[in-house]
């Protein structure tokens, strides 16, 4: 269950993919229903992702008590959840079930009266003394009739909150079924009650009870109800009610333990950057039959998998929120720190491979990350560049986004008497700043504030300087020419020209049944990605039809350059695009 207030979309998708692959690979099960009963409030992003993954429904729990009252009053706890951003023609609604009571334990979910529900939590483990182990009695022939009457009254009240009169009753709680004995206790006693009620249909007005899964619940509901109310929005901020009747709002976790939240974003950024570099470098090695590099890539890919899983694990509603115990948070921090280090080192090695023109690169260790980290609870430090007289040092600026960026680049140097040249050996305007050592002598984030006023400890470094300049991180779109089967040679010339401009190169393949062309374009050396538009509307490669497509791609990805081949087609298409963009193609 991912948190839904502090997480970022990429991390949510990562957790969804990793979790589903694990369940499929280890249990051979493909989930079809979401179970999200413990996050502190709910947003509409998770239902959107689940609906896009062909889920049949989802179940939520922790929403504001006023919403629970409203749903109960209007019998609307099963509803279609619509995202705010739903596109026309795309049905991403998801049937959602709101658990009607406060929490998911047996005490609070069998019906509206917790102290009656305590009678039906049959866990009795030697050495455990709890309110349910004291109150609950195992089902016998002597008490089964009275217990069945008591239970069916609670179930009936729960079902009355829905127009279809179907009740979903969970049997569990946090940290349950960790003992084999509890499985037997819960199942045997509930089986006696279920069989008794089903065998006395006249007494219980044809009530039918069965063990099942959330998927079974949604199937039963859809048989009885065809239309559902719809809702658009989210359930923040979450609030429950204390026993004394005061509301308790849950919002402190938005800012609790912020350094861990920063770590999560840091891993997310490094992992995504690595995935792009790794894919490009791996495909290059495969194209060049560099089997030594491929073996290394296959070995290192396991570190990417572990990084994805550590990132997904930390999106848990008690992890990124900062609501876990201190030792648990330290474990999360160590896992994230390890994956950040692995992702950084793998980025270094893939960049080294991509920078070397030889098919089988031999040099290693000449790329260093701009940041150094000692542990998860220490602030990362900028790596200073040691520039001596008459000696140059090269650095790489990498844009991991799909679009062009204008970025302020900050470098650390041990010498203020430096010049910065771009890739064309042209000198750039720079600004030299002092480095303020706010954390000098501090071992960690917490120790910064442990001994008085931080402002009294700010000093100017005597050894390091900050170099600041602007850098435009470029990206180029190449419009491929083809006959729906093979690329024309002029496309290769256009790609070569695009690579001379620097930055990422994207190829747009548009046509009718032109999938093979896109596959061929993806194999071209130095290509970052291929955009495929396969439709009869682009049949015949007519410039008038392709112009709106190119403009739409430019509007989405913000390329710094658009390149077309110097052919009759290119000379017809390029002016149309240039006129619309008021620029040069």
Q: What is the pLDDT of residues 278-298, one digit of tens each?
A: 998 898 888 888 888 889 899
Q: What is the pLDDT of residues 433-461, one digit of tens each?
A: 888 876 555 555 555 545 555 444 567 77
Q: Is the pTM of this model over 0.85?
A: no
**Is there a single domain that holds both residue 578 and residue 513?**
yes
Q: Are residues 222 and 299 in the same domain?
A: no
At 277 the pLDDT is 92
The whole-angstrom separation of Cα 381 and Cα 386 is 15
Asked if residue 180 lies in contact with residue 128, where contact means CB atoms within 8 angstroms, the answer is no
Q: For this structure, is 102 an active site residue?
A: no
Displacement of CA 383 from its chain's centroid (Å): 30
Q: Is 393 domain-assigned? A: no
Report, as an integer, the average pLDDT of 513-538: 89
Shared domain for 61 and 187, answered yes or no, is yes
Instruction: Please check whether residues 71 and 219 belong to one and the same domain.
Output: yes
Question: Could you tell me if 215 and 64 are in contact, meaning their C-beta atoms sit under 8 angstroms apart?
Answer: no
Q: How confident is the model over 153-186, as pLDDT tens digits?
A: 999 999 999 999 999 999 999 989 999 999 999 9
Same domain (yes/no): 91, 210: yes
253 three-state secondary structure: helix
When mean pLDDT is compared across 175-184, 378-387, 513-522, the lowest value belongs to 378-387
pLDDT digits (tens, 9 = 90+) for 36-61: 999 999 998 999 999 999 999 999 99
Instruction: Read off the pLDDT of residues 63-78 as tens digits, 9 standing for 90 and up.
Output: 999 999 999 999 999 9
Co-location of 63 and 8 in the same domain = no
The Cα–Cα gap between 500 and 1 comes to: 47
Say if residue 326 is in the same domain as residue 189. Answer: no
pLDDT of 579 above 70:
yes
Q: DSSP letter for 179, please.
A: S
- List C-alpha distances in Å: 78 to 37, 85, 278, 309: 15, 21, 44, 32
Q: Which pLDDT value is given to residue 88?
A: 63
- At residue 500, the pLDDT reads 81
Same structural domain, 327 and 427: no
Peptide bond into 237 cis (omega under 30): yes
Residue 397 pLDDT class (50, 70, 90 cuts): confident
E strands, 21-157, are 33-36, 57-60, 78-82, 94-98
Q: Give mean pLDDT, residues 134-157.
A: 94
Is residue 40 in some structural domain?
yes
DSSP state of 415: -
Q: What is the CATH number of the domain that holds 287?
A: 1.20.1270.50
Residue 532 within a domain? yes
- Between the CA atoms of 171, 174, 179 and 183, what dihedral angle is there, to the nearest 10 degrees? 10
- How many whole angstroms separate alpha carbon 449 and alpha carbon 427? 42
Asked if 42 and 234 count as a contact pair (C-beta separation under 8 A), the reply is: yes
The residue among 273, 501, 560 whose CA lies nearest residue 400 is 273
Going by pLDDT thresholds of 50, 70 and 90, the confidence category of residue 584 is: low
Domain assignment of residue 398, yes or no: no
Determine, yes or no, domain membership for 364: no
> 290 and 187, same structural domain?
no
Q: Domain count for the chain, please give it.
A: 4
Shared domain check, 72 and 23: no
Q: Report if residue 392 sits inside a domain.
A: no
- 185 and 38 in a common domain: yes
391 φ, ψ (degrees, to nearest 5): -135, 135
Q: Which structural domain range is residue 431 located in?
A: 382-387+405-440+458-472
d(CA 520, CA 502): 22
Whether 573 contacts 479, CB under 8 Å = yes
Q: Mean of the per-residue pLDDT values for the chain?
A: 88
Interval 190-244: pLDDT, tens: 999 999 999 999 999 999 999 999 999 999 999 999 999 999 999 999 998 766 6
Question: Which residue is catalytic, options 38, 102, 240, 331?
Answer: 38
Cα distance between residue 117 and residue 124, in whole Å: 16
pLDDT at 186: 95
Q: Could you tell me which of 434, 310, 446, 464 has the C-alpha nearest to residue 379?
A: 446
Residue 21 sits in the same domain as residue 53: no
pLDDT confidence of 359, banded at 50, 70, 90?
A: low
Tokens of 330: 């330290």
């Amino acid at each position: 269950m991912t948190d839904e207030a502090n997480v970022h979309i990429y991390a949510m998708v990562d957790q969804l993919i990793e979790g589903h692959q694990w369940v499929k690979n280890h249990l051979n099960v493909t989930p079809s229903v979401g179970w999200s009963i413990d996050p502190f409030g709910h947003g509409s992003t998770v239902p959107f992702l689940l609906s896009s993954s062909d889920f049949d429904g989802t179940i939520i729990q922790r929403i504001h008590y006023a919403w629970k009252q409203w749903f109960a009053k209007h019998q609307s706890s099963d509803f279609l959840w619509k995202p705010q951003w739903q596109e026309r023609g795309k049905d991403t609604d998801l049937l959602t079930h709101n658990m009607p009571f406060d929490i998911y334990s047996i005490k609070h979910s069998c019906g509206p009266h917790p102290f009656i529900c305590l009678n039906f939590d049959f866990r009795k483990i030697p050495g455990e003394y709890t309110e349910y182990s004291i109150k609950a009695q195992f089902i016998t022939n002597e008490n089964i009739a009275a217990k069945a009457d008591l239970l069916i009254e609670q179930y009936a009240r729960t079902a009355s909150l829905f127009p279809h009169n179907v009740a979903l009753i969970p049997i569990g709680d946090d940290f349950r079924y960790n003992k084999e004995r509890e499985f037997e206790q819960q199942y045997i006693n509930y089986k006696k009650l279920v069989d008794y009620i089903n065998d006395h249909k006249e007494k219980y007005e044809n009530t039918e009870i069965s063990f099942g899964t959330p998927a079974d619940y949604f199937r039963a509901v859809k048989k009885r109800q065809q239309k559902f109310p719809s809702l658009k929005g989210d359930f923040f901020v979450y609030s429950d009610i204390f026993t004394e009747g005061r509301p308790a709002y849950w919002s402190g976790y938005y800012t609790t333990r912020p350094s861990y939240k920063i770590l999560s974003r840091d891993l997310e950024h490094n992992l995504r950057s690595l995935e792009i570099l790794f894919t490009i470098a791996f495909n290059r090695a495969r194209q060049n039959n560099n089997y030594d590099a491929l073996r290394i890539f296959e070995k290192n890919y396991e570190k990417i998998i572990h990084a994805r899983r550590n990132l997904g694990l930390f999106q848990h509603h008690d992890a990124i929120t900062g609501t876990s115990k201190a030792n648990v948070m330290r474990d999360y921090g160590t896992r994230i720190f390890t994956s950040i280090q692995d992702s950084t080192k793998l980025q270094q090695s893939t960049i080294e491979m991509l920078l070397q023109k030889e098919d089988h690169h031999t040099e290693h260790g000449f790329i260093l990350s701009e940041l150094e980290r000692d542990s998860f609870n220490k602030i990362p430090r900028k790596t200073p560049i040691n520039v001596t007289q008459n000696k140059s040092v090269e650095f790489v600026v990498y844009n991991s986004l799909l679009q062009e960026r204008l970025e302020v680049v900050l470098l650390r140097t041990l010498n203020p008497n430096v010049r910065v040249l771009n890739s064309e050996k042209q000198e750039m305007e720079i600004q030299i700043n002092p480095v303020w050592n706010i954390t000098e002598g501090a071992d960690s984030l917490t120790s910064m504030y442990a001994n008085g006023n931080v402002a009294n400890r700010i000093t100017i470094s005597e050894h390091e300087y900050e170099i600041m300049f602007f850098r435009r991180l470029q990206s180029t779109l190449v419009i491929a020419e083809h006959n729906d089967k093979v690329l024309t040679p002029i496309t290769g010339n256009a790609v070569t020209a695009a690579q001379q401009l620097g930055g990422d190169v994207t190829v747009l393949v548009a046509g009718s049944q032109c999938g093979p062309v896109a596959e061929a374009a993806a194999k071209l050396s130095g290509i970052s990605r291929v955009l495929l538009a396969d439709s009869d509307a682009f049949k015949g490669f007519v410039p008038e039809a392709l112009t709106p497509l190119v403009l739409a791609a430019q509007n989405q990805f913000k390329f710094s350059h658009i390149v077309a081949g110097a052919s009759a087609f290119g000379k017809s298409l390029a002016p149309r695009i240039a006129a619309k963009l008021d620029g040069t193609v």
